[in-house]
Amino acid sequence: MPNVRKTTSTEPGQGIVYDFARARQRAAAAAAEPPAETDKAGITGKARELGQARAAAEAAPDVRAERIQALRQQIADGTYNPDPREIAREIMGRGI
């Protein structure tokens, strides 16, 4: 108990004193301090951007679906003959 202090009085009942002034000062100081940082939960701006990008990608029409289906059919028929030089040019062009 920080506001209770012992005194050197020899009279009965006078040996312990409660310091109201000090208690008020400490209460006022505690009330004046800004509240401590609290935990927060939320979504960051980067996460929002990723969510928007994903939603846009999912909403976009699948233009390549026809091309992929045609290539699959060529592979299944055995008529798919990719040009190795063109593949090398694309790889080098992309810097892979």
Residues 9-56: tens digit of each pLDDT: 566 555 565 677 777 888 877 777 676 677 777 878 888 899 999 998
Q: Token pair 């006022």 is at which residue?
A: 28
Does the residue 52 lie in any domain? no
The whole domain housing 14 covers 1-36
Q: Which comes out higher in pLDDT, residue 63 or 82? A: 82
Does the residue 49 lie in any domain? no
Count of domains for the chain: 2
Categorize the per-residue pLDDT at 75 as very low, low, confident or very high, splitting at 50, 70 and 90.
very high
Could you tell me where the DSSP H helices lie in the chain? Answer: 20-32, 45-59, 64-77, 84-94
Write the burial class of residue 90 (CB in 10 Å: 0-12 exposed, 13-18 middle, 19+ buried): exposed
Does the residue 46 lie in any domain? no
Phi first, then psi, for residue 82 (nearest 5°) are: -70, 150
Neighbours of 84 (CB within 10 A): 8
Does the residue 47 lie in any domain? no
